């Protein structure tokens, strides 16, 4: 215990839970984190299969260089001292197997503009407007909850993306571009340019989000983590422990204990009871509300969200461990397939392919991992899982369909594959418990961008929410910032000054 200070139990040792733990400790609270999995990080993770290091998360880290609000959070959490960030340099390399077209969207604004206009002079006006707006959007800062940071290269603090709404200079863009990407692209005449823009991020997300990503790319504020996502996570766990916090793994919270309208602790799946002054859930929102709290404290806003908002589609990650030389591609590629295939009822006509050949810290020597990320159906995989044999058979079948398709782009790869690892929505659910395997929570849409999500529950004192499920759009920076912000709010409620410390 930290003297007579209040104790906090944090449910979930993903990025938001770890971050909340660190800031709570900086502010004198006693912290115990309970994490369902055997390691920290939640969906932000890397793992080894047959001696190949596979990554399951970060390909675009926003604000990896000094001059952004969130970089200061990375510093405060001890990440910048321990992890090595690489500039992304390239956002996506688009390869069209149907036509042979290829276009790499790189961090160079002028080159990107000129190359796109060269593809379609008729779209010059639209291309210029889109790219210009993207650069302006990059003035926005991840909301970190007020600051110990000083204004740097990027000017305005954004008090969450909804704060955008209030910023005069952004208003024009907000009205003009707060529409789904797949609606926005209807104004683009050239089909190849349209294919590129509509695949910058998820097609149902607001166009503003893609602009933000591209804007950060052009400002050289989009990075990667050398050695894989786990190297982003472990320094935060270390910081938590060094500050005096405790984290217990394989510890699944079953119930939040409530007495006299206040949270007083948790009960774990092993039956043990742990008491605290405050409980913060940085875990999946649906199970927090409906299982851990038995559906007794569900604000109307949350009911509406679960009934109406779109979630991120579940993913499959199909990873191939390759030994020997193969053709090299940029880190992130979108490949349009000549021969689409089906998984359940969904036709897969393009693959997001991550090529890890740039990172020898993950797999040294002549070994590398090529990974396909595919949106898929939750119910299909959960149904299959009821029959173990059918489930593994389908996993294997999908892996071979993917391998057949990428052979066209990586000639000879098939003969060099010595490891195949397939993660399905069931895998995501088993390890992270995210509702319907929505790995990043709610999509950032025209509606969700404008609405604020409650972080406390009416009728339940001493209980707070953090993490991607209360920050539409999710993401690594948002999760760590969410942990910071919840502790800032707690300090305010406790009438304490919120303080931060560097390691």
Ligand X SMILES: Cc1cc2nc3c(=O)[nH]c(=O)nc-3n(C[C@H](O)[C@H](O)[C@H](O)COP(=O)(O)OP(=O)(O)OC[C@H]3O[C@@H](n4cnc5c(N)ncnc54)[C@H](O)[C@@H]3O)c2cc1C
Name the residues that contact ligand X, by CB under 6 A: 11-17, 34-37, 42-44, 56-61, 252-253, 282-284, 287, 315, 432-434, 439-440, 467-468, 474-477, 479
| Nearer to ligand X (CB atom), residue 310 or residue 414 | 310
The nearest distance, CB 268 to ligand X, in angstroms, is 8
For residue 470, what is the DSSP state? G
Give, in degrees to the nearest 5, the angle at Cα 18 between 17 and 23: 100
Nearer of residues 126 and 427 to ligand X, judged by Cβ: 427
Which residue, 61 or 279, is less far from ligand X as judged by CB?
61
d(CA 372, CA 385): 21
Pull the structure tokens for residue 277: 């002054």
Give the shortest CB-295-to-ligand X separation in angstroms: 15
Query: How far separated are the first and last CA of the chain, in Å rounded?
Result: 20
Shortest CB 479 distance to ligand X, Å: 4
Provide the minimum distance between the beta carbon of 69 and ligand X in the complex, in angstroms, as a whole number. Answer: 15
Which residue stretches of 243-287 are H helix? Answer: 285-287
Residue whose CB is less far from ligand X, 104 or 440 = 440
Residues 6+ apart with CB under 8 A from 302: 285, 289, 454
Integer-rounded Cα radius of gyration of the chain: 22
Q: Which is closer to ligand X, CB of 91 or CB of 218?
A: 91
Smallest distance from ligand X to CB 96, Å = 23
Q: Which is nearer to ligand X, 117 or 399 (CB)?
A: 399
Helices 476-493, 69-76: axis angle to 10 degrees equals: 80
CB of 323 to ligand X, least distance (A): 24
Residues 237/18, Cβ–Cβ less than 8 Å: yes
Tell me the CA distances in angstroms from 168 to 152, 156, 164, 174, 259, one per residue in order: 20, 12, 8, 10, 46
Shortest separation between residue 396's beta carbon and ligand X, angstroms? 21
Hey, is 317 helix, strand or coil? strand
Among 300, 299, 318, 343, CA closest to 457: 299
For ligand X, the closer of residues 127 and 465 by Cβ is 465
Smallest distance, Å, CB 109 to ligand X? 21
The residue among 17 and 97 lying less far from ligand X, judged by its C-beta, is 17
Reduce the DSSP state of residue 492 to 3 states and report it.
Answer: helix
Strand ranges, E, within 344-386: 346-355, 367-375
Nearer to ligand X, 6 or 433 (CB): 433
Contact 78, 503 (CB under 8 A): yes
- Tell me if 316 sits within 8 A of 424, measured CB to CB: yes
3-state secondary structure of 60: coil
Q: Rank residues 64 and 194 by Cβ distance to ligand X and give the closer one.
A: 64
State the maximum Cα–Cα separation within the chain, in Å, rounded to a whole number.
Answer: 69
Alpha helices in 152-229 (DSSP H): 168-177, 181-184, 191-198, 207-218
Q: How far is the CB of 482 from ligand X (least distance, A)?
A: 7
To the nearest 10 degrees (0 to 180), the angle between helices 15-26 and 476-493 is 40
Q: How far is the CB of 122 from ligand X (least distance, A)?
A: 33
């Amino acid at each position: 215990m930290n003297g007579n200070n209040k104790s906090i139990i944090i449910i979930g040792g993903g990025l938001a839970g770890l971050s909340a733990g660190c800031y709570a400790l900086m502010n004198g609270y006693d912290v115990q984190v309970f994490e369902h999995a055997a390691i920290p990080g939640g969906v932000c993770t890397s793992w080894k299969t047959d001696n190949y290091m596979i990554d399951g998360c970060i390909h675009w880290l926003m604000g990896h260089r000094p001059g952004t609000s969130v970089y200061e959070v990375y510093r405060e959490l001890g990440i910048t001292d321990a992890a090595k960030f690489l500039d992304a340099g390239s956002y996506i390399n688009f390869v069209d197997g149907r036509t042979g077209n290829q276009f790499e969207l790189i961090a160079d604004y002028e080159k990107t503009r000129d190359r796109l206009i060269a593809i379609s002079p008729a779209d010059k006006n639209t291309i210029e407007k889109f790219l210009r707006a993207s650069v302006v959007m990059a003035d926005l800062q991840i909301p970190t909850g007020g600051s110990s940071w000083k204004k740097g290269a990027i000017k305005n603090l954004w008090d969450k993306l909804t704060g955008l709404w209030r910023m005069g200079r952004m208003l024009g863009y907000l009205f003009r571009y707060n529409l789904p990407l797949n609606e926005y692209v209807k104004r683009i005449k050239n089909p190849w340019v349209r294919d590129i823009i509509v695949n910058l991020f998820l097609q149902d997300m607001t166009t503003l989000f893609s602009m933000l990503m591209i804007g950060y790319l052009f400002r050289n504020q989009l990075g990667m983590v050398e050695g894989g996502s786990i190297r982003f996570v472990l320094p935060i766990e270390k910081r938590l422990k060094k500050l005096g916090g405790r984290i217990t793994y394989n510890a699944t919270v079953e119930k939040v204990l409530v007495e006299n309208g206040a949270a007083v602790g948790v009960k774990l799946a092993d039956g043990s009871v742990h008491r605290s002054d405050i409980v913060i859930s940085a875990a999946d929102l649906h199970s927090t509300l409906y299982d851990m709290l038995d559906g007794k404290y569900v604000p109307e806003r949350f009911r509406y969200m679960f009934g109406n908002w779109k979630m991120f589609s579940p993913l499959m990650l199909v990873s191939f461990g390759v030994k020997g030389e193969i053709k090299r591609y940029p880190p992130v590629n979108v490949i349009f397939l000549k021969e689409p295939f089906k998984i359940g009822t969904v036709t897969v006509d393009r693959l997001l392919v991550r090529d890890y050949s740039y990172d020898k810290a993950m797999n040294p020597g002549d070994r590398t991992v090529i990974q396909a990320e595919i949106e898929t159906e939750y119910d299909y995989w959960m149904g299959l899982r009821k029959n173990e044999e059918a489930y593994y058979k389908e996993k294997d079948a999908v892996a071979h369909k993917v391998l057949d398709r990428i052979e066209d782009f990586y000639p000879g790869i098939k003969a060099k594959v010595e490891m195949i690892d397939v993660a399905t929505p069931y895998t995501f659910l088993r390890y992270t418990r995210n509702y319907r395997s929505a790995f990043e929570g709610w999509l950032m849409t025209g509606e969700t961008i404008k609405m604020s999500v409650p972080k406390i529950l009416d009728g339940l004192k001493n209980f707070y929410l953090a993490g991607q499920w209360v920050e539409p759009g999710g993401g690594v920076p948002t999760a760590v910032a969410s942990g910071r912000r919840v502790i800032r709010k707690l300090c305010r409620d406790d009438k304490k000054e919120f303080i931060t410390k560097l390691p």
